[in-house]
Homo-oligomer: A and B are copies of this chain.
Amino acid sequence: MRAAEALRRLGERRPLVHHITNYVSVGLVANATLCTGALPVMAHAREEVAEMSGAAGALVLNIGTLDERQVESMLAAGKSANERGIPVILDPVGAGATRMRTLAAERLLSELEVSAVCGNAGEIATLAGLSAEVRGVESIGGDAGAAAREAAASLGVTVAATGPVDHVCGGGRALAVENGHPLLGRVVGSGCASTAVIGCFAAAAGSADPETVAHALAYFGCAGEEAARTSGGPGTFEGRLLDALAAFAADPSVLSGQLRVSDVG
């Protein structure tokens, strides 16, 4: 689904997007979800996650500050989402940086039907079995296009590898997204926020197919471009990024001609 249609549906239906996420960027993630037009809810307790996912239009799993109990909650929520057939999006934050994170991402991918995996080049390369350097939660170098292609082939799901150019692969398609701005890399959690926006678009489309994922990233990237025009640095950029997401969501026609999604398959 293309961005304009996804944003229009979000504004009409206001689906719930259930996040089980890290406590570093959680505020940005929730606000990005709300600005995009969906209703965010963060709930992690084993006792309620299945019920919460049962009311949601999409589930977003982000392992940025993982611990063992959180993995159990992610599995319970994911199974509830799978039973209802709603999209499950995984952001494997820090996969490749520690054994625990790599194994957790692999376990989620193995025990759940994940619809899309979205991470930086290093995280995606790790899951594809390629060599990668992940320093903490940052990718050091790496070829995002190759990582996305390999991971999509080996995992059999839509895969987005973000970077200066975002690459989205799956189902035989390969798309490149050239929207964005270097300041996005200077704000903690901007990757998490872009995954949250993918969750919103997937809730609108009922699917996380490559076009839907690429358009979510293009919309997010356009907001980054707009925010960069008026911000004085990474600190003031964050608020303006949210303003831009909300402005584009309120009037998607503004995006016309700005989205730079191309088929590179």
Contact = CB atoms under 8 A, between A and B. Distances in A.
Interface of A: 14, 16, 18, 22-28, 30-31, 34-35, 39-48, 51-52, 55-56, 64-68, 94, 97-101, 135-138, 186-189, 231-247
Instruction: In the A-B complex, list the 9 residue pairs whose CB atoms are closest, starting with the nearest.
Output: A235-B242, A233-B243, A41-B136, A235-B239, A45-B67, A48-B100, A48-B98, A30-B188, A235-B243
B241 A136 contact: no
29 contacts: A24-B27, A25-B30, A27-B28, A31-B187, A31-B188, A31-B234, A34-B186, A34-B188, A35-B186, A41-B97, A42-B64, A43-B65, A44-B65, A46-B67, A47-B68, A55-B97, A55-B136, A56-B136, A232-B243, A233-B244, A233-B247, A235-B238, A235-B239, A235-B240, A235-B244, A235-B245, A235-B246, A237-B239, A239-B239
A224 to B, nearest CB: 12
B51 A98 contact: yes
Contact of A136 (B39, B99, B100): B39
A91 B241 CA distance: 29
A98 B23 CA distance: 22
Given A25-B27, A27-B27, A35-B186, 16 more contacts: A23-B42, A24-B26, A27-B188, A27-B189, A35-B233, A35-B235, A41-B94, A41-B137, A43-B98, A45-B68, A47-B68, A52-B136, A232-B240, A235-B243, A236-B242, A238-B239
Contacts of A45: 66-68, 100
A186 B42 contact: no
Given A27-B28, A48-B100, A243 B236 contact: yes
Contacts of A40: 136, 188
